[in-house]
Structure formats: C-alpha cells, structure tokens
Structure 1
Amino acid sequence: MDKGSGHGDSPNPPKKLGIFLQDACLDHRYIRNRDTSNIVERPQRIRAVKIGISAALACMESLAQPSEPASVARPKAEESTEPDDLAAALSRMAIASKPRVELSLNLSIQVRKSTAALDLLNHSAVKFVHGDIGEDVYLESLKTWARDSGDKVEVGQSEIPEGLPQGDLYLCPGSINAIQGALATVCEAVDTVIKATKPSPNGLATVTEAIDETAAPRAFVAIRPPGHHCGEDTPSGFCFVNNVVVGAAHAHLQHGVNRVVILDIDLHHGNGTQSLIWQINEETYRRSVEAEYSGDTKQGLQVYYGSVHDILSYPCEDGKPDLVQAASVSIHGPHGQHIENVHLQPYESLEQFWDVVYTGPYSRLLAKAGEFLDSTGGPGEDVLVFISCGFDACEHEYPSMSRHQRKVPVSFYHQFARDACAFADKYAKGRLVSVLEGGYSDRALTSGAMAHVCGLAGVDGIKEEWWSLDNLMKVEKATKKKGRGGRQSLTANGAAEPWVQRTAEIFSILDEGSQYTVPSSSSQSSIAPSSDRTLRERKKNHNYAEVEEEWPPKRKGGRKSGGAALPKPAPATSSEEDGGSSIKPKAGGEIGAAKKLPKIILHVRPPVDRDSK
C-alpha cells in the first residue's frame, strides 16, 4: 500500500478543508496544586497540534511552488472582480482572524480561530445528549462544580464530587468556558460542512465551495477537553461532555441528518460514545416499530459506531467484565444497533502493519460502516461522517501511555483520513468532521496532526518522510519557546530549511494570543434566551447534590439501559496510588486534618526525558 500519496492521483481536485481552533479550550486547567508534571491532559496539547497543523500546511505549500505569493486582501462581495481573480482568491487559504497567513493558490484550506460559544443549559443538541426530563440536573451540577472548584481546592477539598473518578477528572472556574467553546466549535464545523454541500429544492447547489469561501465539506476541529469517555451523565477519562455525539445531535436537529457514522481511532475505547449511541439507536428502533401502528413517519437518528482501540488499556485495563465486553461488542442490525469494535494489534514490521493488520481487521471499521449505510438507504443527503480522532495510539506517545505496545505508525493517521474521506465522498457527499480526542505527548500530537491534516486535505504527492523523526525534531527546535514568556525560535542558528522556517512562521500566527499557563481573559459567554428544546426520552431527575451517598444515582423511570454498552463508571482511584499531594486547609476550613488531593494521570506518567524512547 502506498502510504505517502494515499489513493494516488485523483480525477477531481481536493475538496476544501476547514481547520477550526478555539482558544477558549485553553481555559480548562488543573488547579489542585502548582505541580502539573503528571497532568497529561493539559492546555499545551493544543499548542502541539497547532505545530503539526503548521508543518502540514508548510509542506503541502512546498508542493504547489507558486510563482508569486498570494494577495492578502479578499475580494469583497460588492466589488467588481474578474472571474480569474475571483477563482484565485477563493482558492487561497486564509486564517479567519488578523493577522492572516496566505498559502499557495493551489491549496484549498482555511484555518479559523473560532469564537463560537453556547450555553450548556440552552442548546438543543446538548440537551438531546446530556439533558434530563424536566430539569438539566447533570448539566447544572457540572456548572456548579466548575464554579465552586476554586473554593473547594482552597480549603483542601477535591473539586470533583466523591463517587466520580478522582484520578482522571479535574475542573477549574474556566472549565465551563472551555467545554462550551469546544461544543460550539464542533457545531460550527458541522454547519460548515453541511453548508458546503446542501442542495436547493430544485437540485442545484445554493452554497458551494465555488461561490462561498467559508464552505468546506471537510473539517478538523482541534479542541479539548476530549469527550468520547463521557456518557449521558457519567464523566470520566478527562471527559465531561461528549463533543462528537453532541455534534451528531446538532446535525440531526438542525440539518435533518438522520444517519451518522462515528469512526473512533483513539487508543482507548470510547465507552461514553458507545453508551450514548446505544440509547439513541434503541429509541429510534422502538419508534420505528411503533410507527408501523401509529403511522408516524418522522425519522429518528441512527448512528454507527466503529472503534479500533487497545483492549488492555483504559477503561478496560483492570479487566472488569462489563467494560471489556462493551469494548468487544460487534452487532449489526438487531435491536437497531450498529457497532463494531476492533482491538489494536502489535506488529513487527511496517509491511506487516499495512499488508496484514490495516487491510485486515482495521478495515472492518469502514466496511461495516458501509454495510450500515447500504442497509438503511445507501448514499444520501442525510449522512454525515465523524472521526473521533485520538493520537494516543501513535508510535511517539509516552511509553507509559502505550505500554502494551498497541501502537500505529504516524502514517496511519494520514492513510485513515484518506480512506475516511473516500468513504464520505461515496456515501455522505464528502461531509466529514474530525474532532480531536486523546493524544498526550507533544510529539504524538504534532506528528499525528501533521499526517492527519495532510490526509484530510486530499493533496497528492504527500511524502511520508515529512513526519520522520528527524523532521519532527527540526520542527520542535524551531518552535521551542525560549524560557518563560519568550518567543519561539524561528530558525536554528539562522540556517533552518525553508519549510521549517515556514512552519514556524505559520505557527507564530496560529498561536498568537494563546495562553497556556494562565486563565484566558475571555469572559464567559452570555446566557441566551430560552428556546424550545428537543429531548430524547430518558430517565427522571437525579439528585447530584447527594452524589457522595450514591453515584450514579439509581435510575427511576424512563428507558432502562442494559447490556455491555452501558457500563457503570469506574470507582474513584486512590489518591495514594495517584501520587496526590498533601494540602492543608486554611483556618476555619471544613477539614480538620490535612487531606491528599489526587493527581490526574489516567494511569500514566510522562517520562522525564520524552525523547529517550
């Protein structure tokens, strides 16, 4: 298999790619103490992804070799513009904020620094996924936990309620801003890809790439915190809401998308996503059966979930039967369920990986997704593809994260993106949204993002050597900060290769104004007026104020969840095992003795020397 150029020469030009960044996501920070050396889910993850994006753009630009640089100014709608000039202007890549980076006229890529925001308590898709009957108990509790987090930590208490996993969850006052910004940016990306391909009633495109610079049928959304471990009301594994499932619900409620494919390539099983789509499919199936007697023709949402993951890692690391069973489910059709779980396999050579593993078991993700769509109507306007894109299976991930040797080469993220795009072209009019999940070492994030963006861009001539270890080290050196508050070095002793210098130039603009160690100055989004909301049928209210007594609360009424698809959250990890630090409360505090607060490590510790292995 040709891993570099993917599918080879394409008969059609590559579709436009939108890359979405959101600085609000940097507001989610660990505050239990100042020692963050063991915190792997950190704001700096986004910086590493931006470096990978910048390197991808610089390398793809070098393929085009334009005769002259693109103009900075965009043509305005009211200006008279010659057709040739307009076509050139619409083909250039721009960062949708000042200052702007211009790339080759042959690259159809746009980077957006999104400022989108929503209110957890007043958004139909969020309510559809995480709401409750009559009252948003979990969502309201989440906002309260974040609001009170500073006060809790100040007196030596954990900001995460007892009964929830203390070892892989944390909050701060800015976390809600980050969570809401992440969700809003995913929804913005969904709007963008739908807008790019939405037909008019007469069958002609009303908005297409050819006439609208903002339209892009493919998107990569670099956000945090991740989401695929969060169920309806069970946060875990760094996740408090499910970004991808909310995006799917938004597409369903706002754009009439009734069939969604979710392809999860994170190292860890997306137990939260599977739990949610099981419930969604269960309800849609029930309504379809009832419709035979009621005559109701309204279509519900159907979701296929396909995941390739390490069965030996979180959340299955302890071998709990319900979690292992859930991560091994393969069901296609019965009870309205469409789920395929594939376990990562070790490999001894790249030839074995590509010729045996990738074309063998890993190919089932897309094959079963195709069967799902073929059995439910085939290609159509109502189809959308998501990638839950974690880079923690990357060969450059921390050894402590991938200690079971279930890894993939960096080129996997390029090839899978190419294959997923071809799948979306066949079934979903090209609509595809890739959303960042895990990935924790800087090198894994940078290399994975670089390869993945190249794959999504669909540019021919991509070279696997671009993300070689030597080139990654050059990029890391060129973008390394010079101490606290210092600017990154744009060249290595003034002699960096042109593509490396270009990478640093693009990154300096993508990263301008981003703050990773202090709270963002951005204010909380204002609360929108009340509106009609669409809710799935679900259980009655839970009293999260009493979570210390029982977590999760007993389900009362509503749909009864069952089977391996809906495991209970793992119990809180021991603060002793997590290396928690002792914090003494101030005078007058609620605790009479010093108490250890747990570290957030998800069973891993980044090595002191990240390049040693």
Structure 2
Amino acid sequence: MNNMSTQIAACSPIKIDSEAGSEVDPLGIGAPLPVSQVTSNPPEPSSSKAPPHVKIYLQDDCLKHRFIRSRDTSAIVERPERLRAVKIGLAAAIARIEEAEGALKNSESHADISVEDQLAAALDKMDIATSDGGLIRARSISIARSTATVDLLDNAAVKYVHGDIDGDVYLRNLKAWARDSEDNITKKGSEMPEGMPPLDLFLCPSSIDAIQGAIGAVCQAVDAVIASTRISASVVATGSQRAFVAVRPPGHHCGEDTPSGFCFVNNVAVGAAHAHLKHGIKRVVILDIDLHHGNGTQSIVWQINEETYRQTLESEQSPSEPNAPPFKHGPQIFYGSIHDVLSFPCEDGKASFVQAASTSIHGPHGQHIENIHLQTYSSEAYFWDVLYKERYSVLLKTASQFLDSTGGPGDDVMVFISCGFDACEHEYPSMSRHNRKVPTSFYHRLTRDTCAFADVYARGRVVSVLEGGYSDRALSSGAMAHVCGLVVDTIQVDERWWELENLVKLEKATKARKLGRLSLGDSDSEPWLTRTTELLFHLDVYRTPPQPSRNWVLPTSMTLRERKKPSSNSSTTEVARNPRKGTHTPAPMSSSSSTSTSASENEAVSPLMAKKVPRVILHVRPPAGTS
C-alpha cells in the first residue's frame, strides 16, 4: 500500500458491502432524545412478557491481579481499585432505580464503622457467594457475587479461542509467567518475556485466579441469560435477560496467543464461544464501545468467520451422503467497534493496526466487521443530532443488516457488549489524549438502543462485560449510566443523575477515609446518596489483598502512562512519551479448535519468549517494500 492509500485508511473507514442499497432502519435507531429532554419514557410492558431483569455479576478474585514489579504504582491505571469505582456507579444506579420504582426508603444513618464490623454486618445480611440476599429492593435488578472459575487448560471455550493445535502453548506459558512472576522479577527485573510490551502487561502469582474468575463469571452470565429466554412460551420469564459482568483484567486487545494492552485472555470472545459450544448459539453480535480498538477481538472474529465460511463452501460443493446428518457449521460473528483511531493500538501509525481499525466489510468472505472512528464535538446538540444519529448508530444498523442477511431474528442469536468507559468525558486527559470523547449519557442511550435491538433479534439477550475505563469518575459515571440503560424500559431514567454536580456529591459521600473507616453518608444527605453508601457498604466488602513482603526491584525507569508531570526537584525519570513501542499484533486463530489433552501447568513449558506473529491482522498484504 502506498503512502496515500495509507493516509486514506487512517482517515476514514474502508467500506466493503456485499450489495448496494438504500438505508433501512427498522428499529428507528439513531433518533436520539432532544437534548432538553432528560428523561426516557419507557414503553408499556407487554402483558405476555415479564419486564426484563438485569443481573450484575461481581467476582472478588479479580482483585488479585496487581502490579508487583516495583513499589511505585502511581502510573498503573489498570488497578484493582477500578472495581471499587465501578461498584460506586452500580450502587448509585441501583439507588436511583429504587427511587424511580418507588422502592427507596430512608435508611438509618450510620456512624463510622470499622472494616471488621462492616465485614461482619455484610456476612449477616447477604449470601456473598450467590446473590444479594434481599439487599436490593428494586424489582428490575439484582446482584450476584460470582465464585465461578474455569481452568485455562481444561475449558472448551477457552481452548476454542486461545488453544493451539501443538498443545495449548500460550495458555501453559501464561500460567507459567504468573506462577514464576516473583522469581523472574527478582532475576530479570520483569515477569514478562523479552519482546512483549513491558509497559502494558504485568502479572503476579494470583493473576491466574483473576483471569480464570473473570472468564467464569462471564460464562455464568451467559448461562443465566440464555436459560431465562429458553423457557416454554406459556411460562412467563423470570430470569435475567440482561447482564453486566464487572471483571478485570480486560480482554479485547488479546488475540489468539498474544497478550496486549492489559489483556491476557479475551473475555468476550470466550463468552461467545461458550454460548456457541454449550448452548448452540450460531450468530453473535459483539459491540465494542471502548476508546481503543479491540484488535484482539476483531482478529479472533475474523478467524472464526473465515473457518465457518470455508466449512460452508465445502459443504455446498461436496455431495451429501445418503442419511448423513445435517451439516453444522461454526458460528457467524458480527464485530462492531466505535473507537479513537489515533489511540492505542494505532497511535504509532503502524499500517496493520490502522488498517484493521478502519476496515468495514459486510458479507464478502463471510466477514461482518464495522469500524467507526470517534470524532470531536463542540456541543452535546451536535453530538446527538449529528454524530450519534448519523455515525455512531450505524453500528446497530449494520448489525441488524448482518442478522437480517443470515436468517433474521432467532433463538440462535446473542448480543455482547465490550463495555469500556475510557471514552467518557471524565476520563484522564492522559488516557484520552486526542479529545475523542463521548458524553456520559452515551453509555445510557447506546445501551438502551442495544437492548431494543436485542429485543427484536435475540430474545432480549445482552451480556455486557467490563473492558477499559481508568479514572474513578469515568468508571462510576459510565457504570451508572450503562446499568440505567439496561433497565430503561422498566423505569423513567433522568440523565441529570450523572451530571457533574451529582457526581461530586457521590464522590464525597463514598470517599474512603483514613484509619480503615469509610464515609457512610451524612444523616441530612439526599436519600439516594444515603442509599448508595448503604449499598456500597455491602458491595465493597472485600479489599485488595495485601502484597506479601518480598525483595523489591528498583523502580522501572519507564511508567505505564503519563498522568502528571514530575516536579522540578523530583528524581524520578521522566515518563516515556511512547510507551506502546513493541506492541504485537494478535496472531490469527487456528482453523480448528484444539482437542488435545491439557498438560499440567507444572510441566516444562516452552522458553519464555514472545511468539512471532504476522504484522497484519486481517490477511491483507503488507505494503510493498516492507518485511
């Protein structure tokens, strides 16, 4: 590709449509609320269908993944504390939903309570292993504290996505990297193999617990959502048609065998594989709303679609045997992303990453990909009336075209959201360096439109999984708006709930105090704030496990991201300007899932070296004259 064509690819998505035609918008998606209208008027629920229920999944093992390379964690943004910020947003959303449903009652005011008393009280009031134990008063939402986990070396969905025909090399190595992390830090100064981006990837011995717990919670949510929508038509559904899974580390940058951008296993891709292998889901829609392009997910989706397309062609060209069982092909997946093409993984301008993040193809070669670039906006009116209506809502329109062209609505359809909050207007400026942001209400309205889409095509099935989002305010406000979007058709949502004034009140009410004591709200605070602190008191029972005593290596001269300028008298080395150098493109997935027996994690593994992978994700030829 010459320089001019590379520039074109970087500036606008590449459109490859199976056929031309006029736009069809059967769902009416892209017609936003007027800016002056801050409430959503939900439709009257159908008498033949129970109102949708939303379940939030928490997994405490996800707190165990942390940075241990040095004591200096000031620039580590993918941190366990992210989950507390999400819980604040969830607690606020639940309080507001209870208020809207008329279920909010003034809670007794609490004095400051020690951490030990908090734990005892929480254990008394809720079954922390399974559900909220009656803590939630809202009819439309509940919380499950998941204890589900999977074995990376013995799980069909994990092996389908990350397995290797040569013996699951990547998965065994991943476990070894975590298991030996402390020793490798002591010996080499880093727990990651040479050649892997050291500023984006870190592990500790308990990271595997977090990774396996995250996947377990996602699969548990998939099971519950599908089970609730596959009951007899004569029985009213009572389960959870929608779920939000608040887990970490994120996953959408991880390809088949290459970790990247904080991601070690692709949570959403594994969830989709689980839905296919266990429940017969044939068509999957993945909507990625993280600030950064989900290059790992797109690579995996491309390989799965490629294999399904090959199987289909072979079945059409091969004569069928008498009495042969009907042909069963693999899943078909639509991947759609709204992202900043100037940010990671494209920020260095590498052709392969920019091409992948700019490609849209609808049908040819069995591929269904839509990439939309975030734009700057001058006012919320412009954002909603122009950008959202004319550009961003195209994500759902093309997803509907994919499903229409592959059979229309059906029991074999499921919708996933790779839900990152780092495009939020409240994200760190150092993370959102190119001003490609969205208003917080974007997470409410797009979620609302996605649920409407799922109601038409997928029996209402939506599983949303946390990806990025790093500032506390971006996480709490985004999670609040997102969950309100999941329950929007059962209540009236007021978008003023997450205006800056209310967010400041929320942060003050939920701020952790010194000496192990928490602020539980003032007796004269607004009822929703008092209720939020009460809910958080139960949701945030577990704290980040303390780090064991060990011989620390000297702080690295490079930190993860530039969040603040060092003071003039500081001895700390200046933050690297381009921390993403050396990031690898995820490798394509093998054409067939592995069926080999898993090796023990204690067996000898291959040398701790990064696997060489193709430069180009999407099977396009590299520019002429390059290696």
- Structure 1 residue 379: Cα displacement: 0.2
Instruction: Find 1:479's aligned residue among 490, 501, 510.
Output: 510
Give, in whole Å, the separation in 1 of the partners of 2:505 and 2:294. 34
Instruction: Write the letter of the residue equivalent to 2:297.
Output: T
- Structure 1 residue 199: Cα displacement: 3.9
Give, in whole Å, the separation in 2 of the partners of 1:197 and 1:340. 28
- Structure 1 residue 516: Cα displacement: 5.5
Instruction: Find 1:118's aligned residue among 150, 154, 171.
Output: 150
Q: 1:136: which partner in 2?
A: 168
Instruction: Write the letter of the residue equivalent to 2:409.
Output: P
Q: 1:551: which partner in 2?
A: 611
Give, in whole Å, the separation in 2 of the partners of 1:359 and 1:401. 26
Give, in whole Å, the separation in 1 of the partners of 2:351 and 2:443. 30
Structure 1 runs, 4 residues or longer, greater than 4 Å off:
67-70, 93-99, 516-519, 538-541, 564-567
- Structure 1 residue 5: Cα displacement: 3.3
Q: Deviations over 1:420-457 (max 9, x none)?
A: 00000000000000000000000000000000001101
Q: Do structure 1's residue 50 and structure 2's residue 87 form an aligned pair?
A: yes
Which secondary structure does the structure 1 equivalent of 2:254 belong to? coil
Contact 2:303 2:591 in 1 (8 A): no
Which secondary structure does the structure 1 equivalent of 2:95 belong to? helix
Instruction: Write the letter of the residue equivalent to 1:135.
Output: G
Instruction: Write the letter of the residue equivalent to 2:296.
Output: G
Q: Do structure 1's residue 15 and structure 2's residue 52 form an aligned pair?
A: yes
Give, in whole Å, the separation in 2 of the partners of 1:481 and 1:456. 28
Q: Do structure 1's residue 461 and structure 2's residue 492 form an aligned pair?
A: yes
Same amino acid, percent of matched pairs: 59
Give, in whole Å, the separation in 1 of the partners of 2:57 and 2:391. 31
Q: Deviations over 1:22-45 (max 9, x none)?
A: 000011000001111100000000
Task: Summarize the Cα distance change of 1:172–1:293 in structure 2 as closer, same or farther, 3 Å threshold.
Answer: same
Instruction: Find 1:255's aligned residue among 267, 275, 279.
Output: 279
Task: Summarize the Cα distance change of 1:94–1:393 in structure 2 as closer, same or farther, 3 Å threshold.
Answer: farther
Q: Which moved more, 1:30-39 or 1:467-476?
A: 467-476
In the alignment, structure 1 segments of 5+ residues that lack a partner are: 71-92, 520-533, 568-613
Contact 1:48 1:445 in 2 (8 A): yes
Contact 1:53 1:453 in 2 (8 A): yes
Aligned residues: 514
Instruction: Write the letter of the residue equivalent to 2:176.
Output: T
Q: 1:76: which partner in 2?
A: none
- Structure 1 residue 488: Cα displacement: 1.4
Q: Do structure 1's residue 384 and structure 2's residue 414 form an aligned pair?
A: yes
Contact 1:279 1:561 in 2 (8 A): no
Contact 1:269 1:311 in 2 (8 A): yes
Which secondary structure does the structure 1 equivalent of 2:144 belong to? strand
Give, in whole Å, the separation in 2 of the partners of 1:536 and 1:380. 27
Give, in whole Å, the separation in 1 of the partners of 2:93 and 2:545. 23
Q: Which moved more, 1:240-249 or 1:468-477?
A: 468-477
Contact 2:163 2:594 in 1 (8 A): no
Instruction: Find 1:563's aligned residue among 619, 624, 627.
Output: 619
- Structure 1 residue 65: Cα displacement: 2.0
Give, in whole Å, the separation in 2 of the partners of 1:69 and 1:442. 27
Which secondary structure does the structure 2 equivalent of 1:359 belong to? helix
Give, in whole Å, the separation in 2 of the partners of 1:59 and 1:441. 22
- Structure 1 residue 134: Cα displacement: 4.2
Q: Do structure 1's residue 502 and structure 2's residue 531 form an aligned pair?
A: yes
Instruction: Write the letter of the residue equivalent to 1:19.
Output: I
Which secondary structure does the structure 1 equivalent of 2:493 belong to? coil
Instruction: Write the letter of the residue equivalent to 1:278.
Output: W
Task: Summarize the Cα distance change of 1:334–1:47 in structure 2 as closer, same or farther, 3 Å threshold.
Answer: same
Which secondary structure does the structure 1 equivalent of 2:606 belong to? helix
Give, in whole Å, the separation in 1 of the partners of 2:471 and 2:613. 36
Task: Summarize the Cα distance change of 1:68–1:264 in structure 2 as closer, same or farther, 3 Å threshold.
Answer: closer
Task: Summarize the Cα distance change of 1:383–1:183 in structure 2 as closer, same or farther, 3 Å threshold.
Answer: same
Contact 2:67 2:202 in 1 (8 A): yes
Instruction: Write the letter of the residue equivalent to 2:606.
Output: A
Q: 2:349: which partner in 1?
A: 319
Q: 2:427: which partner in 1?
A: 397
Which secondary structure does the structure 2 equivalent of 1:121 belong to? coil
Give the TM-score normalised by the residue count of structure 1: 0.79
Give, in whole Å, the separation in 2 of the partners of 1:227 and 1:67. 36
Contact 2:64 2:210 in 1 (8 A): yes
Q: 2:237: which partner in 1?
A: 209
Contact 1:413 1:451 in 2 (8 A): yes
Give, in whole Å, the separation in 2 of the partners of 1:336 and 1:302. 8
RMSD of aligned alpha carbons: 2.7
Task: Summarize the Cα distance change of 1:24–1:540 in structure 2 as closer, same or farther, 3 Å threshold.
Answer: closer
Q: 1:102: which partner in 2?
A: 135
Instruction: Write the letter of the residue equivalent to 2:403.
Output: L
Contact 2:176 2:605 in 1 (8 A): no
Which secondary structure does the structure 1 equivalent of 2:39 belong to? coil
Contact 1:4 1:461 in 2 (8 A): no
Trace 1:115-264 onto structure 2 (pairs within 5 A): 115-200=147-232, 204-205=234-235, 209-210=237-238, 215-264=239-288
Which secondary structure does the structure 1 equivalent of 2:333 belong to? strand
Give, in whole Å, the separation in 1 of the partners of 2:72 and 2:436. 30
Give, in whole Å, the separation in 2 of the partners of 1:257 and 1:112. 24
Trace 1:319-358 onto structure 2 (pairs within 5 A): 319-358=349-388
Give, in whole Å, the separation in 2 of the partners of 1:147 and 1:565. 38
Q: Deviations over 1:395-424 (max 9, x none)?
A: 000011111000000000000110000000
Give, in whole Å, the separation in 2 of the partners of 1:63 and 1:110. 16
Q: Which moved more, 1:272-281 or 1:495-504?
A: 495-504
Instruction: Write the letter of the residue equivalent to 1:5.
Output: T
Instruction: Find 1:31's aligned residue among 60, 68, 84.
Output: 68
Give, in whole Å, the separation in 2 of the partners of 1:164 and 1:342. 28
Give, in whole Å, the separation in 2 of the partners of 1:383 and 1:7. 27
Q: Deviations over 1:306-361 (max 9, x none)?
A: 00000100000011111101000010000000000000011000000000000111
- Structure 1 residue 94: Cα displacement: 9.2
Give, in whole Å, the separation in 1 of the partners of 2:151 and 2:362. 36
Give, in whole Å, the separation in 1 of the partners of 2:525 and 2:306. 56
Trace 1:278-293 onto structure 2 (pairs within 5 A): 278-293=302-317
Instruction: Write the letter of the residue equivalent to 1:102.
Output: L
Q: 2:559: which partner in 1?
A: none
Contact 1:128 1:536 in 2 (8 A): no
Contact 2:132 2:145 in 1 (8 A): no
Q: 2:289: which partner in 1?
A: 265
Contact 2:169 2:606 in 1 (8 A): no
Contact 2:58 2:146 in 1 (8 A): yes
Contact 2:352 2:617 in 1 (8 A): no
- Structure 1 residue 518: Cα displacement: 4.3
Task: Summarize the Cα distance change of 1:68–1:176 in structure 2 as closer, same or farther, 3 Å threshold.
Answer: closer
Give, in whole Å, the separation in 1 of the partners of 2:215 and 2:595. 25
Give, in whole Å, the separation in 1 of the partners of 2:334 and 2:621. 13
